[in-house]
Amino acid sequence: MTDTTSKTNLLGLTQQKLEAFFEGLGEKRFRAGQVMKWMHHYGVDNFDDMTNIGKALREKLKATAEIRGPEVVSEDISRDGTRKWVVRVASGSCVETVYIPQNGRGTLCVSSQAGCALDCSFCSTGKQGFNSDLTVAEIIGQVWIASKSFGSVPATADRAVTNVVMMGMGEPLLNFDNVVDAMTLMMDDLGYGISKRKVTLSTSGVVPMIEKLAEKVDVALALSLHAPNNALRNQLVPLNKKYPLEVLLPACKSYIAGLGEKRSLTVEYTLLKGVNDQPEHAAEMIELLRDIPCKINLIPFNPFPHSGYERPSNNAIRRFQDMLHQAGYNVTVRTTRGEDIDAACGQLVGQVMDRTRRSERYIAVRQLAADATEAAPAPTRHNAG
């Protein structure tokens, strides 16, 4: 019986690494290109189906290698055409991938970790804590699964997946090497041939890794900002305490400047009722971003149980957007998609096992706060005392 545990999973190898693999087998480097096309262009995972490769090499590959994406646990399709896959990774945890069709584009939101260590207060994924980093094969495997589900050949102009955003579960820059290799495969013509302008990495602000990213790839960058000042951002995005705005924004500006070609930073800002959606917040944001080429994506909060936050009114959202528009910013309000299958932004929880039990503690703290509020004496009684 063949031992599969020692086999190399070719799905997760960049062209350079796959060429090295074939050289290690005593084969020519061009074999890497042949196998990449079979895997990524046609979704093939059986070496016997690779008809332009000789039988002897196919047998050698079967003995030493495999092509294995993550296990698909479920696939849901929303009324609006959004799709969500729950896939199980090697750690035993599950992560989610979301496909959003809109205006001729097909954007795939890809996860980089099972759970997340950052614990942003308004994000349901963060309430689970961190479980594991995804391997390159598990990250690119999400693109592989989505492409195969549509029966599309990524090398053609009419492919279903036209854009990829690393905005799913996890902080991509905390799984740096695997994410960089996966994005390299997304952009490789032998992989998925997606333009560097259409592969976006979203970060909450891991400054040293933003600087390192500039040395490796030139993908688009998105910043999860969510607050226009350090005091508020410390509450919403705890990572800000380590990398405050005066350190973070210059790093983002430097990265964008290095891209050239008049490219800009995407600023993501989740609007929370009564927390960061007021005119004074918009005014602060206008000043904060004044010297940074950027476009702003406002995201009305998607409620989830025990969050403690609410979605702002439509009037409040429009008011905030209008202030930014009048200051000259390119601003869009993200339309909620896939809400009926819990695929909307900030809702990616799925069936990930909460090994840190963070969500239970989070719910318990919310309940204690609610109990304390109910038990507090009435103001008149307190004043009388």
Say which of 94, 116, 252, 345 is annotated catalytic: 345
With a CB cutoff of 8 Å and minimum separation 6, the contacts of 374 are none
Distance of alpha carbon 275 from alpha carbon 299, whole angstroms: 14
With a CB cutoff of 8 Å and minimum separation 6, the contacts of 29 are 19, 22, 23
Distance of alpha carbon 32 from alpha carbon 19, whole angstroms: 5
Distance of alpha carbon 329 from alpha carbon 326, whole angstroms: 7
Q: Are 362 and 318 in contact (CB under 8 A)?
A: no
Q: Are 295 and 266 in contact (CB under 8 A)?
A: yes
Q: Are 98 and 108 in contact (CB under 8 A)?
A: yes
CB atoms closer than 10 angstroms to residue 112: 28
DSSP 37: I
Say which of 96, 138, 171, 268 is annotated catalytic: 96
Alpha helices in 175-295 (DSSP H): 176-187, 207-213, 230-236, 245-259, 279-288
Q: Is 94 a catalytic residue?
A: no
Q: Is 120 a catalytic residue?
A: no
Q: Return the active site residues.
A: 96, 345
